[in-house]
A and B are shown apart, each in its own frame.
Chain A
Amino acid sequence: AQSVAQPEDQVNVAEGNPLTVKCTYSVSGNPYLFWYVQYPNRGLQFLLKYITGDNLVKGSYGFEAEFNKSQTSFHLKKPSALVSDSALYFCAVRDIFSDNNNDMRFGAGTRLTVKP
């Protein structure tokens, strides 16, 4: 069974500073990894994913994430935060060899607040 952990409930950064939202995962095989963002009272929006290939994945709105197999991590990053990046961020994992669509697991979410 796969699982994902987001160790920080809340991340605060100043506008213009770099941001990192942490995610670690556990799978029995190889992972598919995803980041989503949720604005208040809205659904989740897909940001980026890692399937295979380059460990640094670039996504929407200037976000990127780095897959680190040895540390089983997939941290979300952005070089310069915007106030509009303030939202709830979810990491998700799926075992690459699973045939079961039930096997997407989401973290509990990290609330990012970017202050002017």
Chain B
Amino acid sequence: DGGITQSPKYLFRKEGQNVTLSCEQNLNHDAMYWYRQDPGQGLRLIYYSQIVNDFQKGDIAEGYSVSREKKESFPLTVTSAQKNPTAFYLCASNNPGLGYEQYFGPGTRLTVT
């Protein structure tokens, strides 16, 4: 997990509340990603950003929003529009063109009741 931090590790929210998950990297990577992990479904891409002030929707962007104001930071907001937000959220980063492997943070487990 070295170089990428996510906070908090566990997060509990009431239904209808927006919540922001933090992701910070000190690897000087250009690209950052947010994935959602559910049991038996692997990783699904929510949003990704290839450069500061630019981001693109992934496969399951509905109900989520992101920003990329700084190279090292890529926060994810889970809005009340997300119908099933309880999941394990993983942030990753890489430098495309240098092997493409992604480096992951430790994850945030979000529980919404």
Could you tell me which A residues sit within 8 Å of B by CB distance?
9, 32, 34, 36, 41-46, 49, 51, 90, 94, 101-102, 104, 106-109
Task: Decide if A108 touches B40 in the complex (CB within 8 Å).
Answer: yes
**Interface 9-mer from B12-20, B63-71, B74-82, B97-105:** B97-105
Task: Decide if A43 touches B104 in the complex (CB within 8 Å).
Answer: yes
Task: Decide if B41 touches A101 in the complex (CB within 8 Å).
Answer: no
Task: Decide if A106 touches B42 in the complex (CB within 8 Å).
Answer: yes
Q: Please name 16 pairs of A and B residues whose Cβ atoms are closer than 8 Å in the assembled complex, sorted by A.
A: A34-B100, A41-B88, A41-B109, A43-B90, A43-B105, A44-B92, A44-B104, A46-B101, A49-B100, A49-B101, A90-B42, A102-B48, A104-B45, A104-B100, A108-B40, A108-B41
Chain B residues, Cβ within 8 Å of A107: 42
What residue in chain A is nearest B42 (Cβ atoms)?
A: A108
What range describes how many residues of B lie at the interface? 20 to 34
Cα(A41)–Cα(B8), bound, Å = 13
Could you tell me which B residues sit within 8 Å of A by CB distance?
1, 4, 6, 9, 31, 33, 35, 40-43, 45, 48, 50, 56, 58, 88, 90, 92, 96, 99-107, 109
Task: Decide if A9 touches B43 in the complex (CB within 8 Å).
Answer: no
What residue in chain A is nearest B56 (Cβ atoms)?
A: A102
Of the listed residues B56, B92, B102, the one surrounded by the most CB atoms of chain A closer than 10 A to its CB is: B102
Cα(A42)–Cα(B99), bound, Å = 23
